[in-house]
Amino acid sequence: MYAPTSTNSPRSGPTSDERGDDLGGLTDFDGAGEILRAWGNGLRPDPDLTVSEWADRHRMLSGRASAEPGRYRTVRTPYMREIMDRLSPGDPTQRVVFMKAAQVGATEAGNNWIGFAIHQAPGPMLAVQPTVELAKRNSRQRIDPLIDESPELRDRVKPARSRDAGNTMLSKEFAGGILIMTGANSAVGLRSTPARYIFLDEVDAYPASADEEGDPLTLAEARSLTFAHRRKVLLVSTPTIRGLSRIEREYDASDQRRFFVPCPHCGAMQWLKFDRLRWQKGRPETAEYHCEGCETPIAEHHKTAMLEGGEWRPTTTAADPTTVGYHLSALYSPIGWLSWERIVRAWDAAQGSDEAIKAFRNTILGETWVETGEAPDWQRLYDRRERWTSGTVPAGGLFLTAGADVQKDRIEVDVWAWGRGLESWLVDHVVIEGGPDRHDAWSELTALLDRSWPHERGAHLRIARLAIDTGYEAPAVYSWSRAQGFAQVSPVKGVEGFNRASPVAGPTFVDATEGGKRLRRGARLWTVAVSTFKAETYRFLRLARPTEEDMADGAAFPPGSVHLPHWVENEWLKQFVAEQLVTVRTKRGFARLEWQKLRERNEALDCRVYARAAAWIAGADRWPDEKWRDLEDQLGAAPTDTDSAGQINRPGQAPQGKRRSDWLGRRGGWF
């Protein structure tokens, strides 16, 4: 048997007998006992905790940042336990990918990891949000409460107001490490320091390139390579569009784990799918989940026990064994958060709107949306042309916008009428001969702003807003736009890409030139995600249309329907569907969606996109029902309708109490 011999080894200092019980008098002072105890505690190794165990023991949720303040309990979201524990130093996993629905507790789990690293395994950490501004907001709303509410963290991070503190908005220093927070739009922030831990949040909202220096994910992960097998990278996001989604790409390369839960009736393990959620039509409160094994309905009150008995199971083999991937929908949301009934209500409310269904798939199901950018057949559109009085706005059109495309030798303008649900009608197509260097061309475009089009109800409408492209001869466009006033004219710049928070951004002030003199902040420029509006236009063109028999029975066109007049020519129709959406591979092998021309000329499609952007800028996407009713009233109500004063309003008659100039529209329209 092995016998320890350390007691016989020579010591480097005197024994306790040689120095006496009082350590030779070194401890003969007040407080010596406390110092010895603290010294002894310092020699004791830290508890060997996982991230989830640390969170259950030390994490406190603040009322400022949580709907359920108090001690964090992993049992509330059991599906997060394994994901958090994979981030513990004792686990060999290096990369964790989490593709998920909104509001399933992912961000708090990531914050638990931050707290664990500060307290248990300090090292340099990089936390990346889509933008620097969001990083600052996250620091105020999430990280500061995380530190303030947990004594173990508060003792390790200096107060923000202390002198020479390492605690700023985007940097938190602690013994053995530092937490740096930045945005994916800042290349400087992404390459600022090596990092053992990297938390990449909402990666599908990252820009395509950080300050034109490359993919933010690649730049961020490069900071961890020097830590080799000790690094930990967490990628979290709600997915967006298939072919563009970063989180889907990373998840597909992983072992693609699903959370299997037991049926309370037969015990069959299964992962929850939306198509197995059933309810009576018009009664979301009857929603129940039907088991794959026994087909027995499962009431939602069983969900708590199902989650407790659940487990993550891989569904494929990962290309990289050090990467694990997880997918979770909102069907797993704990009792008291997002219920099955609310999910059904959201699904019913989304019907009829591709954008709403897209948001449902992304945020509720945690799945990507498939953009179908196949160009419709122009001959099919030709056969679907409609006949109404030429130059007249049909009854459903409530306001006009225009899109102008500036070419070398002409300016092409399309005027569109818009109604409820973004139903639209092509009202006019104008070609102004002569390019931007011809003064008379701009005069004719100005005259178009003063022109009015008769409405079927008797009113006359002017263009509420015109969006004009600045891609060719931008200085001339800026100069003309300034002269007309930005209330009615919006210079726009088209940009590619779907991963944008809004299809239209701005306005931003840009310098303009007039008569050789530079004018600072001389123009207000709007940025338009043309890919989004092109895809929307093609979706609208593919909508099913009611038959004549259906319309005779009172059926209406679906929201978004595009109506083309009988006078539109073949060439215009070919330009209208002149592009298609294709998936291309970058030099680094990443997939991305790109619009490519099928024909050389595409002015009709561009003008439609600009007119659509003008409607967005005017606010049509955000108007409440009261605004649409007000526009309908301004165009003349039915003869039996009365206004607030009890006066009868007839078609073509200005509503009582309104000036006719307001009713007909003036420069700038009603906006």
Which DSSP string corresponds to 561-576? -EE-BTT--HHHHHHH
- Report residue 326 as tokens: 């997880």
Closest CA to 254 of 110, 369, 96, 365: 96
Mean pLDDT of 535-556: 85
Phi-psi region of 399 (alpha: psi -120 to 50; beta: other; left: phi over 0): beta
**Which residue, chain included where needed, has tokens 């002015």?**
603
- Burial environment of residue 548 by CB neighbours within 10 A (0 to 12, 13 to 18, 19 or more): exposed
- Report residue 222 as tokens: 């490069």
pLDDT of residue 117: 93
Enclosing H/E stretch for 475 = helix 474-484
Closest CA to 517 of 482, 488, 563, 471: 482
Give the whole-angstrom CA distance, residue 235 versus residue 291: 31
Contact of 466 with 490, CB cutoff 8 Å: yes
Instruction: Give the pLDDT band of residue 499 (cuts 50, 70, 90).
Output: low
- Report residue 612 as tokens: 């659509």
Contact of 453 with 393, CB cutoff 8 Å: yes
Give the whole-angstrom CA distance, residue 533 versus residue 404: 15
Mean pLDDT of 262-280: 94
Contact of 279 with 287, CB cutoff 8 Å: yes
145 vs 648, which has greater pLDDT?
145
Mean pLDDT of 31-44: 72
Mean pLDDT of 623-649: 62
Average pLDDT over the chain reads 83
pLDDT of residue 549: 83
Contact of 551 with 572, CB cutoff 8 Å: no
- Percent of the chain whose predicted confidence (pLDDT) is above 90: 46
Instruction: Give the pLDDT band of residue 580 (cuts 50, 70, 90).
Output: confident
The number of residues making up the chain comes to 671
pLDDT exceeds cutoff 90 at 242: no
Give the whole-angstrom CA distance, residue 138 versus residue 65: 10
3-class SS of residue 21: coil
Highest-pLDDT range among 34-43, 160-169, 264-273, 625-634 = 264-273
Highest-pLDDT range among 2-16, 158-172, 384-398 = 384-398
Mean pLDDT of 237-247: 87
311 vs 471, which has greater pLDDT?
311
Give the whole-angstrom CA distance, residue 654 versus residue 233: 64
Detail the DSSP E strand segments found in 219-358: 232-237, 257-262, 269-271, 277-280, 283-290, 297-298, 311-314, 323-328
Q: Which residues pair with 648 in a beta bridge?
A: 642
3-state helix, strand, coil in the chain (%, to 5): 35, 25, 40
Tens-digit pLDDT profile for residues 58-116: 998 877 767 778 889 999 999 999 999 999 998 999 999 999 998 888 988 999 999 99
pLDDT of residue 158: 76
526 CA to centre of own chain? 19
Q: If you ran DSSP here, which 8-state letter would residue 379 be given?
A: H
pLDDT of residue 373: 67
pLDDT of residue 311: 96
Give the whole-angstrom CA distance, residue 197 versus residue 126: 6
pLDDT exceeds cutoff 70 at 555: yes
pLDDT exceeds cutoff 50 at 671: no
Give the whole-angstrom CA distance, residue 622 versus residue 627: 10
pLDDT of residue 645: 33
Name the least confident of 484-493, 535-544, 626-635, 643-652.
Answer: 643-652
- Report residue 458 as tokens: 């008797």
- Burial environment of residue 456 by CB neighbours within 10 A (0 to 12, 13 to 18, 19 or more): middle
Contact of 80 with 234, CB cutoff 8 Å: no
pLDDT exceeds cutoff 80 at 314: yes
pLDDT exceeds cutoff 60 at 589: no
- Report residue 260 as tokens: 């299997």
3-class SS of residue 188: helix
- Report residue 7 as tokens: 């007691």
Instruction: Give the pLDDT band of residue 19 (cuts 50, 70, 90).
Output: very low
pLDDT of residue 539: 87
Q: If you ran DSSP here, which 8-state letter would residue 434 be given?
A: S
Residue 134, φ and ψ in degrees, nearest 5: -70, -35
Name the least confident of 140-149, 609-618, 634-643.
Answer: 634-643
pLDDT exceeds cutoff 60 at 432: yes
Closest CA to 418 of 614, 661, 658: 614
Closest CA to 568 of 379, 376, 382, 377: 382
Which DSSP string corresponds to 118-160? HHTS---EEEEESSHHHHHHHIIIIIHHHHHT-HHHHTTS--T
Contacts of 196 (CB under 8 A, 6+ apart): 123, 124, 125, 177, 224, 227, 230, 231, 232
Give the whole-angstrom CA distance, residue 399 versus residue 670: 9
Count Cβ atoms below 10 Å from residue 643 Cβ, excluding itself.
14
Mean pLDDT of 311-328: 93
pLDDT of residue 119: 92
Phi-psi region of 211 (alpha: psi -120 to 50; beta: other; left: phi over 0): left
Helices (H), 302-415: 303-308, 340-350, 354-363, 378-383
Give the whole-angstrom CA distance, residue 115 versus residue 127: 12
pLDDT of residue 345: 94
Contacts of 427 (CB under 8 A, 6+ apart): 391, 392, 393, 397, 400, 415, 416, 417, 453, 565
Instruction: Give the pLDDT band of residue 1 (cuts 50, 70, 90).
Output: very low
pLDDT exceeds cutoff 70 at 295: yes
- CB-based burial, 3-23: b 16+ in 10 Å, e otherwise: eeeeeeeeeeeeeeeeeeeee
Name the least confident of 257-261, 364-368, 565-569, 586-590.
Answer: 586-590
260 vs 26, which has greater pLDDT?
260
Name the least confident of 410-419, 506-515, 609-618.
Answer: 506-515
3-class SS of residue 489: strand
C-alpha neighbours within 13 Å on the C-beta side of residue 48: 2
